[in-house]
Amino acid sequence: MLDIKLLRTEPDIVRENIKKKFQDEKLPLVDEVIALDKEFREAKQKAESLRNKRNVVSKEIGMLMGQGKKDEAMAKKTEVTDMAAELEALSVKETELEAEIRKRMLVIPNIIDPSVPIGKDDSENVEIERFGEPFVPEFEVPYHVDIMEKLDGIELDPARDTSGNGFYYLKGDIARLHSACLSYARDFMIDRGFTYYIPPYMIRSSVVTGVMSFAEMENMMYKIEGEDLYLIGTSEHSMIGKFIDTIIDEDKIPQTLTSYSPCFRKEVGAHGIEERGVYRIHQFEKQEMIVVCKPEDSKKWYDVLWKNTVDYFRSLDIPVRTLECCSGDLADLKVKSCDVEAWSPRQKKYFEVGSCSNLGDAQARRLKIRIKGENGTYLAHTLNNTCVAPPRMLIALLENNLNEDGSIRIPEALRPYMGGKSVIEVPNK
């Protein structure tokens, strides 16, 4: 959410930013907020003037009563009563105006970083850098579900019976490999100085509206019937929510956290909740990174975060690239974002396995996350990034470590988490 002072003083900057994000339908919101804000400030100023006048008149009542001028005092009391009624009406008006302003401010997009490429959608995202050499073996690489089924590592039909499309059972060594990726990611991030957390998997609506845009909320979140609780779509939601309405001493900044959680997503509007695939699903697990820092340090931490993901995948011999998200592909709260994409030998192209985002002070403003320094308090900046999210990354791991006979080479970094195994063999039928 933007600072309303920006709309008061430089509304053209806000309008231009809306145009860069190709959201022209939101342009009227700028004038609406300015008009509502003017009305709000006028009501507030009138209320303040009335309170001062009421205080003066109240003192006069005491003086008049002391002088025995009862009739004049009673007239003043009537005047005070009328002012109290007017103040009550103004208070109601202020509350209503404040709510209308906030409703609009929540959907006006954050100001994007000048370095963000301008484009309408993800088709105009820009490749930044590649890490590792993409490799296509001489033998055909099967579809990832076929690889897992050959290894007796997945059951989709029972999952459809219990839960529907977009769910799965992992089993045996494939399930173990899935867990190994997460355990390794946990230790990988701890070794890089991040504090490990397991957060709540449900959050209140006040946190949901603080961490994400309404469009994301509608398309992602599962609501718990009859409760003010939502299942998290990523542990970032809980972890940023942990700081709601807090003031953090400057000497305790930055806060660098890494969290594990299951994630639940409706995937409304997503094309192809595949009957056989595990690329886009309703339930998965993830190791996340979260940083709360000073505004001047957020660009530095942004680079640290995406590089952590690149290093994690490269330690598993998976080629990756980074992709700068263009203006039209950025969620409204984001200042800047890049995707990390892994190489798929089967498709002979890269696919998304993680996303790194700098949200500036947008979440901090919504959730009142502040830092206390020598010169007072100020809003923090928040960032988040995916370290790893299997089973999606499992697709890249299996394809890039597949042997011609269908067995899987286990990267050295994962072997301690696999009981020392170096290969997942195809079981004898």
Catalytic one among 267, 352, 407, 409? 352
Please list the ranges in the chain whose pLDDT falls under 70.
214-215, 268-276
Instruction: State how beta strands 376-379 and 423-424 pair.
Output: unpaired
d(CA 291, CA 193): 12
Distance CA(77)–CA(302), nearest Å, equals 61
Please give the Cα distance from 231 to 139 (Å, whole number).
Answer: 42
Does 352 qualify as catalytic in the annotation? Answer: yes
The pLDDT value given to residue 342 = 97
In angstroms, rounded to a whole number, what is the distance separating the alpha carbons of residues 91 and 320?
56
Domains plus CATH for the chain?
Answer: 4-105 (1.10.287.40), 122-424 (3.30.930.10)
Q: Under a CB-based contact definition with an 8 Å cutoff, are residues 231 and 203 in contact?
A: no
Task: Answer for the pair 291, 383: CB distance below 8 angstroms, yes or no.
Answer: yes
Is 115 designated active site? no
**Would residue 176 show up in a list of annotated catalytic residues for this protein?**
no
Residue 367: helix, strand or coil by DSSP?
Answer: helix
Helix or strand holding residue 424 (H, E): strand 423-424
Give 249's contacts (C-beta < 8 A, 6+ positions apart).
371, 372
- Choosing from 176, 346, 366, 392, which is the catalytic residue? 392
Model pLDDT, residue 312: 98
Q: What is the residue-wise DSSP string for 280-319?
A: S-SEEEEEEEEEEE-GGGHHHHHHHHHHHHHHHHHTTT--
Cβ neighbours of residue 145 closer than 8 Å, sequence gap 6 or more: 154, 156, 276, 277, 278
238 is catalytic: no
Q: Which entry of 204, 280, 409, 415 is annotated as an active-site residue?
A: 280
Q: Please list the helix, strand and coil fractions of the chain in percent, rounded to the nearest 5, in that order.
A: 45, 20, 30
> Which of 213, 259, 355, 357 is labelled catalytic?
355
Which of these, 112, 110, 107, lies nearest to 2 by C-alpha position? 110
Q: What is the pLDDT of residue 104?
A: 94
pLDDT tens digits along 92-122: 999 999 999 999 999 999 999 999 999 999 9
| Active-site option among 265, 346, 365, 370 | 265
Bridge partners of residue 408, in order along the sequence: 402, 424
CB atoms within 10 A of CB 422: 12
pLDDT of residue 273: 45
CA 392: distance to chain centroid?
19
**Annotation marks residue 392 as catalytic:** yes
Most distant CA pair in the chain, distance? 108
